[in-house]
Structure 1
Amino acid sequence: MSILKGYRVLDCSIAMAGPFAALRMGDMGADVIKVEPTTGEWQRHTSAGAAYGNVINTSFLSLNRNKRSLAVNLKDEEGKALLYKLVETADVFIQNYRPGVAQRLGVDYETLKQIKPDIVYVSMSGYGETGPYLKRPGQDLLLQSLSGAMLSTGAAGTPPQPSGQYLVDAITAYTAFEGALAALLHRERTGEGQLVQINMLDAIIANQMQEMTVFTQGHKPQRRSEEPHGHCYIRAPYGVFKTADSYITLVTPHLPTLGKILGVPEFETMEDEVDGHTLPQRDFIFRVTREKLVERTTQEWRDAFDAEGLWSSEVNGYEEVVKDPQVIHNGTFVEYDHPSEGKVKTPGFAIKFSKTPCSIQRPTPFVGQHTDEILNELGFSDQQITALKETGTVTRTNGEKING
């Protein structure tokens, strides 16, 4: 039995952060119903890397497994009434509409708690529900820019360094997932539902707990060095360096030992970082290390560093990651069959439970694939469902493409 079996989650979110949070609940066994427009959620019509798949593009595919799809027009009064009936059966409601949209649609917390007083309502936004940034778009790269994260790495005089992943979306998703679980625990103890508000700006700032506190409490400026150092608050060498055949990552090695391996006498007289005295020498240490590491291959350096207990690593691309022996050992990726996309290989479950394991119960659904099934569960007859389809209130597809 999965740990969240018996809980129902209504996922009214779009793009990445909300759907990713709902996916995690589905992986743990919750009955996640993706409530999407009759033309399909926005992400169905756009994909990272233009990877469009056969019927379902890979971006949507990656974020919506273990869900059922109900395609309904919430601007239609019958559609809204249908959602309200579904809310009566739900435990968690997730939305990431722009501020004000939930109220206009009549699916805000104050409205839904009148229908289901113990609902756990997760509201996600870019910057918060109020404030001067209310109308700003809540997009990942914009939030990376505002959060200070881009200026903790890279070299002074070069452009700020964005992450190669949708970092803020992912962190916000896990924050929302954590918040939903905590609110469910509170409900189990007290019977009370509540509003859980998550915003991307607070989530990415909180993720920089250590760095921000070094600045606010330690009064250390966020100052990038001239070389592309890996972190503005960590001593050198700390970063990625070119070797004779590829790249290697080197992390704060014992400087005298590094000096012995590299043949750099200056390093052999340096002490490890204890009081900040080597931080001003970061650029010198970085440059000398960089000049030496190009002389041998990555594996040769790895062997030399391992022998002395220094921390280093090869640099993997995705091609290497999927074949990595530890990744294979961990079962990091899972595979499942999809009716239109064939064999799907995707990252699996980062949390492993000894008694209530995560699993894939459902492949990513087509638009409204489960509309009839869900409405039948709510007591609608086949004739009533047919009538709702004829008026455009709901839609059901089963593998055919649909225009947005």
Structure 2
Amino acid sequence: MSILKGYRVLDCSIAMAGPFAALRMGDMGADVIKVEPTTGEWQRHTSAGGAYGNVINTSFLSLNRNKRSFAVNLKDEEGKALLYKLVETADVFLQNYRPGVAERLGVDYETLKKIKPDLIYISMSGYGESGPYAKRPGQDLLLQSMSGAMLSTGAEGTPPQPAGQYLVDAITAYTAFEGALAALLHRERTGEGQLVQINMLDAIIANQMQEMTVFTQGLKPQRRSEEAHGHCYIRAPYGVFRTKDSFITLVTPHLPTLGEIFDVPELKAMDDEIAGHSLPERDFIFRITKEKLLELTTQEWRDIFDEHQLWSSDVYGYEDVIADPQVIHNQTFIEYEHPSEGLVKTPGFAIKFSKTPSSIRLPTPFIGQHTDDILQELGCSSEQISALKSSGTVATTQGEK
């Protein structure tokens, strides 16, 4: 049995951070009901990279497995009443509406806790529920730029480089997931529900616990080098370098050993900690490393560095990640059949439980695919369900289920 089996989560979120958090609860066995508009959640209509799939685009597909879809119009009083009935049966309610929207819809914490006093209510926002930035758009790249992280990498004078994934969304999702589990544990011990507030700005700042404390407590400013050093607080050489045939990552090798390999007397005589953190020496080390690594192929350098027990790695593209023997051994990717999208291959759940493994029980749903089932669970008759559909209060998929 999965750990969260028997718990019900109402996922009223959109885009990435909220749906990703709810997906993780679904992977752990929770009955996740995706409460979405009758026209479908926003992410159904847009996809990263323009990968639209057959019926369900790949962005939505990736974030909404192990969920049932309940398509309902919350601006309709009858639709809102249906949601309230669902709240009576729920353990967790998750939303990432813009500030003020939950109150206007009548689904804020103060309203819902009167219906279900022990409800765990997860409220996600960009910058917090109040304050000078509360109404700003909480978009991943905007938060990356405000987090300070971009100025810890790259070369002085060059534009800061964003992460290659939706980093803040993912970190916020994990933070919300963690908050939900902790609140459920508290409820198990005390019977109390509570409001759990997560914002993207705090999440990405907290994720830099070490770097921020080096700045606040160690009083070390962020100082980028002239060369594109991998991180301003880690000694050189640390970064990605071009080789004769591709690229290689080299991480803080012992400088005298590197000097022996490169036959560079200056490196042989260096002290790791002093020279590696000194700004002028850091640039010198980087430039020597950059020049020498062009002489051999990546595999040749990998063999040499492995022999000397220095840390190095190939630089993977996604095709390399999927084919990597350790990734295959770990069963990092899972496959399941979807009615419209065929065989779906996607990252699985990263935590392995010995007694309560995660599983794929439900493929990503179509809009309102489970509306009928959920209404029946709420005690609605066939006649009532038909009337709700006719009035536009709810919607259900006409195609495959």
Q: Same fold (TM over 0.5)?
A: yes
Q: What is residue 264 of structure 1 aligned with on the other side?
A: 264
- Say yes or no: does 1:363 pair with 2:363: yes
Cα shift readout 1:125-146 (whole Å, capped 9, x = no counterpart): 0000000001110000000011
Moved over 6 A (4+): none
Question: In structure 1, the residue corresponding to 2:320 is in which secondary structure?
Answer: helix
Question: In structure 2, the residue corresponding to 1:344 is in which secondary structure?
Answer: strand
- Say yes or no: does 1:124 pair with 2:129: no
Cα shift readout 1:329-354 (whole Å, capped 9, x = no counterpart): 00000000000000000000100000
8 Å contact from structure 1 (residues 152, 231) kept in 2: yes
Seen in structure 2, the aligned counterparts of structure 1 residues 226 and 399 have a Cα distance that, compared at 3 Å, is: farther
Aligned counterparts, 1:4-403, within 5 A: 4-273=4-273, 278-399=278-399
Q: What's the CA shift for 1:195?
A: 0.1
Q: What's the CA shift for 1:277?
A: 5.8
8 Å contact from structure 1 (residues 340, 399) kept in 2: no
**Alignment RMSD, CA only?**
1.0
Cα shift readout 1:20-52 (whole Å, capped 9, x = no counterpart): 000000000000000000000000000000000
Seen in structure 2, the aligned counterparts of structure 1 residues 175 and 137 have a Cα distance that, compared at 3 Å, is: same
8 Å contact from structure 1 (residues 237, 285) kept in 2: yes
Seen in structure 2, the aligned counterparts of structure 1 residues 297 and 63 have a Cα distance that, compared at 3 Å, is: same
Cα distance in 2, alignment partners of residues 182 and 53 from structure 1? 36
8 Å contact from structure 1 (residues 55, 399) kept in 2: no
**Aligned residue identity for 2:72:** V
After TM superposition, the score normalised by the length of structure 2 is 0.99
Cα distance in 1, alignment partners of residues 169 and 363 from structure 2? 22
Seen in structure 2, the aligned counterparts of structure 1 residues 197 and 22 have a Cα distance that, compared at 3 Å, is: same
**Aligned residue identity for 1:95:** Q
Q: What's the CA shift for 1:399?
A: 4.0
Task: Report the count of equivalent residues.
Answer: 400
Cα distance in 1, alignment partners of residues 98 and 117 from structure 2? 24
Q: What's the CA shift for 1:65?
A: 0.2
Seen in structure 2, the aligned counterparts of structure 1 residues 149 and 398 have a Cα distance that, compared at 3 Å, is: farther
Cα distance in 2, alignment partners of residues 276 and 336 from structure 1? 48
Mind listing any 5+ residue stretches in structure 1 that lack a counterpart?
Answer: none
Question: In structure 1, the residue corresponding to 2:344 is in which secondary structure?
Answer: strand
Seen in structure 2, the aligned counterparts of structure 1 residues 318 and 83 have a Cα distance that, compared at 3 Å, is: same
Identity percentage of aligned residues: 85
Q: What's the CA shift for 1:271?
A: 1.3
8 Å contact from structure 2 (residues 233, 277) kept in 1: no
Question: In structure 2, the residue corresponding to 1:22 is in which secondary structure?
Answer: helix
Seen in structure 2, the aligned counterparts of structure 1 residues 64 and 266 have a Cα distance that, compared at 3 Å, is: same
Q: What's the CA shift for 1:324?
A: 0.3
After TM superposition, the score normalised by the length of structure 1 is 0.98
Q: What's the CA shift for 1:280?
A: 3.7
Seen in structure 2, the aligned counterparts of structure 1 residues 398 and 224 have a Cα distance that, compared at 3 Å, is: farther
8 Å contact from structure 2 (residues 244, 296) kept in 1: yes
Cα distance in 1, alignment partners of residues 264 and 343 from structure 2? 52
**Aligned residue identity for 1:41:** E
8 Å contact from structure 1 (residues 168, 204) kept in 2: yes
Cα distance in 1, alignment partners of residues 13 and 149 from structure 2? 26
**Aligned residue identity for 1:288:** I
Question: In structure 1, the residue corresponding to 2:245 is in which secondary structure?
Answer: coil
Seen in structure 2, the aligned counterparts of structure 1 residues 175 and 13 have a Cα distance that, compared at 3 Å, is: same
Q: What's the CA shift for 1:276?
A: 7.1
Cα distance in 1, alignment partners of residues 138 and 391 from structure 2? 34
Q: What's the CA shift for 1:265?
A: 1.3
